[in-house]
Structure formats: C-alpha cells, structure tokens
Chains A and B, each alone.
Chain A
Amino acid sequence: MSLLDFLNFHLVPGIVLGSIYAVGAIGITLVFGILRFSHFAHGDMATLGAFIALALVTAGMGPWSALPIAMAAVAVIAIGVDKLFYDYLKARPKIVTVMASLGVALMLRAVVQVVFGVDPRTYASGIVRPDDYFGILLRDRELYTLAAVVAIVIGLALFLRHSRWGKAMRAMSDNPDLARLSGVDNRKVTMLTWAIVGALCAASGFMLGINNELHSMMGWQVLLPMFAAAILGGVGRVEGAVLGGLIVGIAEELSIFMLPAQYKAATAFALLLLILLVRPRGLLNGKVL
C-alpha cells in the first residue's frame, strides 16, 4: 500500500474519528475530575445533541449553523438532568450516581427513539466526493470537523487556564474543600461544568452524525471508546483526553491490519484493559480517584 493510501484510508479517518472521541472524552474527564463519577449517560447525551441538530436541519437550517444551537440546548438539558436526577444523590456514594446515569442514558435514548424512530438518518443526502489537497483526500465535513475540534480544544484550554471560572473549575477538581474555603461556590461550578459537558456532548454527537449517519444507538456505541480515551490519557486531565481520543481513534482505524474489520470496536476495550493493567493512572498521570 502506498503512503498516500495509508494516509487517506487509515490515518486521516483515524484522526477525524480520534478528534471526535477527544471532544467526548474531554467531557467525560471533566465530570470525572470535578464531579468525581463516571457519567454513563454521556453517549446518549451526544445522541440527543445530534438529533436536536437533525430536527433543526429538517426545519431548514444548515447543519453547521444548527450545531451551536444544539450545543446550547444540550448544555441547558445537562444542567436540568443534574438538578433532576443527580443532585439529590450528592451525599450518597458516587456509585449510586453512576447507576442513576445509566438510567438517564436509557431515558435519553428512549426519547430519541420515540420522537425520531430507530431508522438511520443523515443530515444531508447524497455522496460527497473528497477534495484533493496535495494528495490528501478530505471531504469538507472532515475539514470542518477537524477545525471545530481544534477550536473547541483551544477555546476550552484558554478558558480553563486564564478565566476566573475556569480556574475555579480546576480548583474544584484539585481540592474541593480548599476551593470551598476559598469562596468558590460549588453549585455554580457544578452548573458550569454540566453546561460545558452538555455542549461538548452535542458537538461530538453532531460530528459523529455528520461524518457517518445518525441512529439512536450511536452515542452508546461510542461510550466505551470515549471512556477508554479519558482513562488512557489520565482521568481529570483535559490534555489527556485529547491525547487519549486521538490514540483510540487512530488505533481503531489501524486495527484492521491486525483484526478482522468487525472487531474494530474491540480496539478501545483492548486499550482500556491494557492501560488499566500497565499504567492505571493513564499516560499523563491522571487523578487517583
């Protein structure tokens, strides 16, 4: 196989997929770090975001214009989900919240299934031929996806590093008691976190949908790769989530050199077990929860 073929048919799809995983994994790692539990409804929240965008597209909007609105919508929904289903479990062991999130996952999925049905859908019909950029073949949507991911990651990094509330989030992730003693309002940070996580979910769901197709199980199916990415990179670390996402995405696409194509999805699981065996704190030394 020529180098260009390898790039175009394996590496590029891997990077696109990996960056979608990265966005999802960032959300997961934020919840891990700040709220300290595994959010199993993450995938189905992404599904919801993708389908909200679909509803807007069906109403006549362009897909990429629908994205910010879908992100805002899921941000609000995420805050609502927390208030309704997770907040009152705060005093109980975290594993109970994990269980509740499993229930929320099913509920979100059911809403999508009832409203939109279970048949696969797309944002736009028709085959799109990729453009040739010096031998690298990229479709517009892939280019926009990569650009969007870069923008999201940089934007979030700047927010966390330099803004007052970004630092408050980091402080809560680092030492919640000390953050409280410093006057950081726990509830406000929690709401802010859910808003960001919801927006990230919607973005990853949308990008998944626009590069493939939409169906009600799409989010659940990427839950494992996204969790694997977050744990691989180091739980609680945003840079880790990005790194982990790219590794998982590229590994999945390259896995066909080692595994039959149907087992692509097993790659993430293998990586998860591997990192748990070899270096459970992840590549960039995440928290020990």
Chain B
Amino acid sequence: MDLLGLANYAVFMGILIGIYALLALGLNIQWGFTGLFNAGIAGFFAVGAYASAILTSLPASGRLGGYELPLVVGWLAAMAAAAAIAWPIGKICLRFRSDYLAIATIGIAEIIRLVIRTEGWLTGGVRGVTGVPRPFGDLDYMPSQIAYLAIVATLVLVAYLLVERQVKSPWGRMMRAIRDNELAAAAMGKQVEARRLQAFVFGSALMGLAGALFVHFNRSITPEAIDPMIATFLIWIMLILGGSGNNRGAILGAAVIWIIWSVSELLTDRLPTEIAVQAKYARVFIIGLTLQLVLRFRPEGILPERQAGSPPHR
C-alpha cells in the first residue's frame, strides 16, 4: 500500500476510532462509573443513526422524511431519541440486578432491530435511508475526510472533557461510592435511583450521537450496516481492555481494538474466498478470547481507574 493509500486508511480509521470512542465513553459512564450493564449498545446507536438520518435526509418515496433539517438538529435529535429510549428501560430495570438490566437491554436492542427492519414507512426497511447529508461533503475526497475527522475528534474531546469534569465532581465521587457499596446505596434510596437513571440516559445519548456521526459519514444507513452483537461486544471489550472507569482508557481501548479488528479484516480479505468467509468469524473468536484473557490477567485494563484525587474531608 502506497503512502497516500496509507494516509487515507489512517484518516478513515481515525474517524471510526472516534465514533467508537464516543460509544466507549458512553458505556464508561454507564458501566465504568455507575456499574450498569448495557448489553444493547447497538440499539441506542441505531436509534441515534436513524433519527438523525430521517430528519436530515432527502425525501424518498414510501418513507417518512425529506425534512432536510440542519445537521445540528439531526445530531441533537439523535441524542434525544437515544435518551428517550433509555429512560423507560432505566426506570423499569435499574432497580434490579445488573444482569436483569443486561437482559432488558438485549431485548430492547432486538426490538429496535425489528422495528428498523419492519417499519419501512419510517426507516426504509431493508433499503434503509439514503441521501443523508455530510458536513464538508462537497469537498474533494481527502479534505472531506480530514474535515470529518476534525469534527469527530472535536466531539470526542468535548465529550471527554465533559465526562471528566462530571467524574471529578462530587457527583462523580458519589456515583463511584454507590457503585462500590450497595449498602451505602440502599441507605440513600431515591437519590441513587435518580442518579443512576441520569448516568444511563446520558451514556445512551452519547451512543446516539455516535450513531449520528456514523450515518452522516456514510451518507446512508441500512439494517445490515451493523451486526448488533459484534458491535456491542466490540465496545465492551474496548472498554474492558482500555480500562473501565477511566475515560482515557475508553478512548485507548477503542483505538487498540478497532485497529486489531480492522487490520485483521484486511488480512483475512486477502485469503482465498473459500476460507475468507470462515476466517472472518475466526476474528470474532479471537476477540471473544481476548476478553477472557483480559478478564483473567489484567481485569483493570491498560489504564486502570484512577482513585479520587482529592483528600478526604474530615
């Protein structure tokens, strides 16, 4: 691969790493800081993607749309839609064990997938939504890519700073205390429920935003675009490997895993077709195995959670 091709590939990867970093940051809020097991990440991602796509895209026959609203509206709507789905799920399931929440999120992701596939009038069914505008889309290829990378990177930075600030605040310390000590949590009652719900909803909103960024990058979205379980699982392992409870860890994990994932795809693509297809699934096996190894040998991840920096008040 020549230098230009390499540069192209790097920028392309950077954009996707940024999108996954947002997803990992969202999961970090939910799991890393609040101990909530969201196994339906792909669902919130899809909701954000479709919400933004429908609101901003060109009209299409047989499908709701053609509003051609500005990008910002689309992206805000993506966050709002994901949050709106998260809220009732959180309200019902957060008070239970974490694994009940996990099952419920698996369920909601499945429902979302069904709706996307079935309600063609809304989502375009298997055809999906096309004609989605892209910021700086009119520029030449390379400048357009770099512009998009800049947007994604900015958003990741903003999200990172926002979340870092929340985490370092008294709110953040309280959330970690609650996460680590169920008895303390029980003593605080209603307060805890509300805080957990906030964390769940806010994390989901970030995931919705990631979805929007994805769809505007590709200018279209179809149900096949994301394999829900692989996408969800990739983000989990990104967070665990990078370091759950650590925002930089989340971003680092996104980078490391995505690089491994997409480079391995490049390699398997070069294999003869008969085994290429099977080889792709071998990558899934390796990723699953990686999770087990991380859980066994370095459960805190590459960048472990930092303990609260401020001295205790007496």
Contact = CB atoms under 8 A, between A and B. Distances in A.
Direct A–B touching, Cβ under 8 Å: yes
Interface of A: 37-38, 40, 84-85, 88-89, 92, 94-96, 98-100, 102-107, 109-111, 113-115, 117-118, 220, 223-224, 227-228, 231, 260, 262-263, 265-266, 268-269, 272-273, 276-277, 280, 289
Given A95-B35, A103-B292, A107-B292, 15 more contacts: A38-B102, A92-B299, A98-B102, A104-B288, A106-B230, A114-B278, A118-B281, A224-B103, A260-B118, A266-B114, A268-B107, A269-B104, A269-B107, A269-B111, A276-B100
A103 B233 CA distance: 8
Contact of A98 (B93, B98, B233, B299): B98
B119 to A, nearest CB: 9
Contact of B285 (A95, A102, A106, A117): A106
B93 A276 contact: yes
Contact of A289 (B39, B97, B104, B230): B97
Nearest to B237: A103
A272 B107 CA distance: 9
6 closest cross-chain pairs (CB), A and B = A110-B285, A38-B99, A113-B281, A269-B107, A107-B288, A103-B291
Contacts of B97: 289
A81 to B, nearest CB: 10
Given A99-B295, A260-B118, A266-B111, A117 B288 contact: no
A262 B114 contact: yes
Interface string B281-304: 110110111011001100100000
B110 A99 contact: no
A46 B107 CA distance: 19
A12 B277 CA distance: 39
B111 A110 contact: no
A77 to B, nearest CB: 15
B282 A224 contact: no
Contacts of A272: 103-104, 107
- For the residues of B in contact with A, the DSSP-based class is helix
B106 interface: yes
Contacts of A223: 106
A88 B287 CA distance: 19
Contacts of A105: 288
A224 B35 CA distance: 22
A109 B233 CA distance: 13
6 contacts: A40-B102, A89-B296, A98-B98, A117-B277, A260-B118, A272-B103
B255 interface: no
Contacts of A227: 103
Contact of B39 (A102, A107, A273, A280): A102
Contacts of A260: 118
B118 A262 contact: yes
A110 B281 contact: yes
A110 B236 contact: no
Contact of A107 (B96, B107, B110, B289): B289
B202 to A, nearest CB: 21
A255 to B, nearest CB: 12
B295 A95 contact: no
B285 A111 contact: yes
B92 A276 contact: yes
A102 B114 contact: no
A40 B236 CA distance: 14
Interface string B210-239: 000000000000000000011001001100
Contact of B114 (A85, A99, A113, A265): A265
B16 to A, nearest CB: 20
Contacts of A109: 281, 284
Contacts of A94: 99
Contacts of A273: 92, 104, 107
B290 to A, nearest CB: 8
A40 B277 CA distance: 26
Contacts of B98: 95, 98
B100 A231 contact: yes
A106 B37 contact: no
A111 B281 CA distance: 8
Contact of A114 (B282, B295, B296): B282
B134 interface: no
A100 B289 CA distance: 9
B81 interface: no
B117 interface: yes
Nearest to A217: B229
B19 interface: no
B106 A280 contact: no
Nearest to A263: B114
A40 B229 CA distance: 12
B106 A95 contact: no
Contacts of B110: 224, 265-266, 269
A7 to B, nearest CB: 28
A94 B35 CA distance: 12
A268 to B, nearest CB: 7
Nearest to B98: A95
